[in-house]
Homo-oligomer: A and B are copies of this chain.
Amino acid sequence: MCARRRDAEGTAATRASRRAELLSAIAGVFADRGYAATTVREAAEAAGILGGSLYYHFDSKESMVDEILSTFLGEMWADYEEVLSSGLDAPQTLRALVHSSFRSIEKHRAAVVIYQNESRYLAQAERFQYLTASQERFERTWKGVLEQGVAEGAFRADLNTGLIYRFIRDTVWVAATWYRPDGKFDAEEIARQYLAMVLEGLQAD
Protein backbone atom coordinates (compact mmCIF):
# COMPACT_ATOMS: atom_id res chain seq x y z
CA MET A 1 0.00 0.00 0.00
CA CYS A 2 1.36 3.27 -1.05
CA ALA A 3 -0.54 6.08 0.63
CA ARG A 4 1.04 7.15 3.85
CA ARG A 5 -0.80 5.42 6.65
CA ARG A 6 -3.05 7.52 8.84
CA ASP A 7 -3.26 5.66 12.09
CA ALA A 8 -6.66 4.81 13.46
CA GLU A 9 -5.79 6.34 16.81
CA GLY A 10 -5.13 9.47 14.86
CA THR A 11 -2.26 11.77 14.25
CA ALA A 12 -1.67 12.97 17.78
CA ALA A 13 -1.08 9.57 19.30
CA THR A 14 1.02 8.41 16.40
CA ARG A 15 3.06 11.51 16.64
CA ALA A 16 3.62 11.12 20.34
CA SER A 17 4.73 7.55 19.95
CA ARG A 18 7.08 8.49 17.12
CA ARG A 19 8.62 11.09 19.39
CA ALA A 20 9.06 8.56 22.16
CA GLU A 21 10.62 6.16 19.71
CA LEU A 22 13.09 8.76 18.50
CA LEU A 23 13.88 9.94 22.00
CA SER A 24 14.58 6.44 23.17
CA ALA A 25 17.17 5.94 20.45
CA ILE A 26 18.64 9.36 21.09
CA ALA A 27 18.85 8.86 24.83
CA GLY A 28 20.81 5.69 24.17
CA VAL A 29 23.55 7.47 22.27
CA PHE A 30 23.62 10.41 24.60
CA ALA A 31 24.13 7.99 27.48
CA ASP A 32 26.78 5.98 25.74
CA ARG A 33 28.90 8.73 24.25
CA GLY A 34 28.00 11.73 26.34
CA TYR A 35 25.70 14.57 25.36
CA ALA A 36 28.40 16.99 24.26
CA ALA A 37 30.40 14.32 22.49
CA THR A 38 27.42 13.10 20.49
CA THR A 39 26.67 14.94 17.27
CA VAL A 40 23.15 15.48 16.07
CA ARG A 41 24.03 13.43 13.03
CA GLU A 42 24.96 10.50 15.23
CA ALA A 43 21.84 10.85 17.29
CA ALA A 44 19.77 10.93 14.14
CA GLU A 45 21.53 7.94 12.69
CA ALA A 46 20.75 5.99 15.82
CA ALA A 47 17.14 6.87 15.18
CA GLY A 48 17.40 5.78 11.56
CA ILE A 49 17.04 9.17 9.94
CA LEU A 50 19.31 11.96 8.80
CA GLY A 51 20.56 14.84 10.88
CA GLY A 52 18.40 17.54 9.40
CA SER A 53 15.28 15.47 9.80
CA LEU A 54 15.43 15.53 13.57
CA TYR A 55 14.60 19.20 13.40
CA TYR A 56 11.19 18.40 12.16
CA HIS A 57 10.53 16.79 15.53
CA PHE A 58 12.64 18.85 17.89
CA ASP A 59 13.63 22.44 18.11
CA SER A 60 17.21 21.79 19.04
CA LYS A 61 19.64 19.32 20.46
CA GLU A 62 19.04 20.88 23.83
CA SER A 63 15.33 20.27 23.64
CA MET A 64 16.05 16.60 23.06
CA VAL A 65 17.90 16.14 26.33
CA ASP A 66 15.42 18.38 27.95
CA GLU A 67 12.55 16.11 27.03
CA ILE A 68 14.52 13.01 27.97
CA LEU A 69 15.41 14.33 31.39
CA SER A 70 12.12 15.94 32.28
CA THR A 71 10.18 12.85 31.29
CA PHE A 72 12.38 10.72 33.47
CA LEU A 73 12.25 13.10 36.42
CA GLY A 74 8.51 13.41 36.11
CA GLU A 75 7.97 9.69 36.40
CA MET A 76 10.56 9.33 39.12
CA TRP A 77 8.95 11.96 41.28
CA ALA A 78 5.54 10.49 40.71
CA ASP A 79 6.82 7.18 42.06
CA TYR A 80 8.60 8.88 44.94
CA GLU A 81 5.43 10.80 45.82
CA GLU A 82 3.47 7.61 45.98
CA VAL A 83 5.94 6.19 48.46
CA LEU A 84 6.10 9.33 50.54
CA SER A 85 2.36 9.63 50.84
CA SER A 86 1.88 6.06 52.01
CA GLY A 87 2.40 6.83 55.69
CA LEU A 88 5.31 4.42 56.11
CA ASP A 89 7.84 4.78 58.89
CA ALA A 90 11.38 5.91 58.12
CA PRO A 91 13.09 2.56 57.51
CA GLN A 92 10.21 1.36 55.37
CA THR A 93 10.26 4.62 53.44
CA LEU A 94 13.97 4.35 52.89
CA ARG A 95 13.59 0.80 51.63
CA ALA A 96 10.75 1.79 49.37
CA LEU A 97 12.64 4.76 47.95
CA VAL A 98 15.69 2.66 47.21
CA HIS A 99 13.56 0.07 45.50
CA SER A 100 11.78 2.75 43.56
CA SER A 101 15.11 4.26 42.52
CA PHE A 102 16.52 1.02 41.22
CA ARG A 103 13.30 0.44 39.37
CA SER A 104 13.72 3.86 37.77
CA ILE A 105 17.16 2.88 36.70
CA GLU A 106 15.81 -0.29 35.21
CA LYS A 107 13.21 1.62 33.24
CA HIS A 108 15.09 4.77 32.31
CA ARG A 109 18.68 3.63 32.30
CA ALA A 110 19.81 5.96 29.54
CA ALA A 111 18.06 8.96 31.05
CA VAL A 112 19.60 8.29 34.47
CA VAL A 113 23.07 8.04 32.99
CA ILE A 114 22.55 11.32 31.19
CA TYR A 115 21.18 12.88 34.33
CA GLN A 116 24.21 11.66 36.23
CA ASN A 117 26.82 12.76 33.73
CA GLU A 118 25.46 15.94 32.25
CA SER A 119 23.44 17.55 35.01
CA ARG A 120 26.10 19.85 36.25
CA TYR A 121 26.96 21.05 32.79
CA LEU A 122 23.37 21.49 31.68
CA ALA A 123 22.28 23.15 34.90
CA GLN A 124 24.26 26.20 33.86
CA ALA A 125 21.51 27.04 31.40
CA GLU A 126 18.39 28.80 32.54
CA ARG A 127 16.30 26.22 30.78
CA PHE A 128 17.58 23.40 32.96
CA GLN A 129 16.97 25.12 36.24
CA TYR A 130 14.57 22.33 37.07
CA LEU A 131 17.53 20.01 37.42
CA THR A 132 18.86 22.04 40.28
CA ALA A 133 15.40 22.25 41.74
CA SER A 134 15.00 18.50 41.52
CA GLN A 135 18.37 18.05 43.13
CA GLU A 136 17.34 20.19 46.06
CA ARG A 137 14.01 18.48 46.45
CA PHE A 138 15.86 15.21 46.39
CA GLU A 139 18.14 16.34 49.16
CA ARG A 140 15.24 17.56 51.29
CA THR A 141 13.37 14.34 50.79
CA TRP A 142 16.21 12.02 51.67
CA LYS A 143 17.56 14.02 54.54
CA GLY A 144 14.03 14.19 55.86
CA VAL A 145 13.72 10.44 55.85
CA LEU A 146 17.10 9.98 57.48
CA GLU A 147 16.40 12.55 60.18
CA GLN A 148 13.02 11.12 60.86
CA GLY A 149 14.61 7.71 61.22
CA VAL A 150 17.08 9.06 63.73
CA ALA A 151 14.29 10.77 65.61
CA GLU A 152 12.29 7.57 65.63
CA GLY A 153 15.32 5.81 67.06
CA ALA A 154 15.47 3.54 64.05
CA PHE A 155 18.73 4.93 62.65
CA ARG A 156 22.00 5.57 64.43
CA ALA A 157 22.33 9.06 65.76
CA ASP A 158 26.12 9.27 65.55
CA LEU A 159 26.29 9.75 61.82
CA ASN A 160 25.84 13.01 59.93
CA THR A 161 22.69 12.82 57.84
CA GLY A 162 24.10 15.19 55.25
CA LEU A 163 27.01 12.89 54.64
CA ILE A 164 24.92 9.74 54.65
CA TYR A 165 22.46 11.32 52.25
CA ARG A 166 25.25 11.99 49.81
CA PHE A 167 26.62 8.48 50.04
CA ILE A 168 23.23 6.99 49.36
CA ARG A 169 22.33 9.37 46.59
CA ASP A 170 25.57 8.74 44.75
CA THR A 171 25.57 4.99 44.97
CA VAL A 172 22.01 4.68 43.87
CA TRP A 173 22.29 6.79 40.75
CA VAL A 174 25.76 5.81 39.72
CA ALA A 175 24.45 2.28 39.58
CA ALA A 176 22.84 3.24 36.28
CA THR A 177 26.33 3.42 34.89
CA TRP A 178 27.00 -0.24 35.28
CA TYR A 179 23.52 -1.70 35.42
CA ARG A 180 22.75 -4.00 32.53
CA PRO A 181 19.19 -5.21 32.10
CA ASP A 182 20.45 -8.60 31.04
CA GLY A 183 22.93 -8.90 33.90
CA LYS A 184 22.97 -11.40 36.73
CA PHE A 185 20.78 -9.34 39.04
CA ASP A 186 17.52 -7.53 38.50
CA ALA A 187 16.63 -4.22 40.06
CA GLU A 188 14.89 -5.80 43.04
CA GLU A 189 17.85 -7.96 43.95
CA ILE A 190 20.28 -5.09 43.64
CA ALA A 191 18.08 -2.96 45.86
CA ARG A 192 17.89 -5.77 48.44
CA GLN A 193 21.65 -6.23 48.62
CA TYR A 194 22.25 -2.53 48.68
CA LEU A 195 19.84 -2.10 51.58
CA ALA A 196 21.40 -5.00 53.43
CA MET A 197 24.79 -3.32 53.21
CA VAL A 198 23.62 0.14 54.10
CA LEU A 199 21.23 -0.82 56.88
CA GLU A 200 22.89 -3.81 58.48
CA GLY A 201 26.50 -3.32 57.55
CA LEU A 202 29.07 -5.47 55.91
CA GLN A 203 30.41 -6.85 59.14
CA ALA A 204 29.57 -10.39 60.09
CA ASP A 205 28.11 -10.39 63.56
Tell me the A residues contacting B by CB distance below 8 Å: 2, 33-34, 36-37, 91, 117, 120-121, 149, 153-160, 162-164, 166-167, 170-171, 174-175, 177-178, 184-185, 190, 193-194, 196-204
Contacts and interface: CB of A to CB of B under 8 A. Distances in A.
Contacts of A194: 163, 167
Nearest to A154: B204
A158 B203 CA distance: 11
A153 B204 CA distance: 7
Contact of A36 (B36, B158, B193, B198): B36
Given A200-B203, A201-B200, A121 B37 contact: yes
Contacts of A201: 197-201, 203
- The binding surface of chain A is classed by DSSP as helix
Contacts of A2: 2
B164 A170 contact: no
Given A34-B36, A164-B197, A193-B163, A204 B170 contact: no
A94 to B, nearest CB: 8
